[in-house]
Chains A and B, each alone.
Chain A
Amino acid sequence: AQTVTQSQPEMSVQEAETVTLSCTYDTSESNYYLFWYKQPPSRQMILVIRQEAYKQQNATENRFSVNFQKAAKSFSLKISDSQLGDTAMYFCAFMKRSTGNQFYFGTGTSLTVIP
């Protein structure tokens, strides 16, 4: 079974600063995908960034980047130049490449950007 752990239930960051959200996972699979999703208050989940496990290069999307450490099974999200609109619940998710269906989600990190 796959498990995803987000050890930081809540975090805060000053506007324009940088924050890193942690995620670790446990799997015996070698091919898989990792995702970060954002769920703003009372709004639907949207994809922030994704990473293929077979790619060594860390994914980046504008202000969002990941630090993927496959051996350590760690997948952290760095948000640079934090904006008020980044305030949301952030979920880390794992998907096996072999089946390509269900996500396994962590419990989430609630991020508040302080003006």
Chain B
Amino acid sequence: DIQMTQSPSSLSASVGDRVTITCRPSQSIATYLNWYQQKPGKAPNLLIHAASNLQSGVPSRFSGRGSGTDFTLTISGLQVEDFATYYCQQSYSSPHTFGGGTKVEIK
């Protein structure tokens, strides 16, 4: 199985901050990397697919980049509604695996 390592596991930030989350798979996955946002009591919500493609309806302050074994999710100008937990997921090979999550909290 491909192991997905996210860092940090949590962070504190203020509204307006630029936040970057990293995801590193245990082997190269080209650009088969997706990002999800999960709020308490809700299902994960797809933000970005194929490393850098913004899902329809997702604000443009979210962006993703990377390939191979190094990926980032950036939120440019954190909003109140962005405080949540973020997960990466590889779709390169089965079983599809997720990172452990990054909880973004209010400073």
Q: Do A and B come from one complex?
A: no
Which residues of A are in contact with B by a Cβ distance under 8 Å? none
Which residues of B are in contact with A by a Cβ distance under 8 Å? none
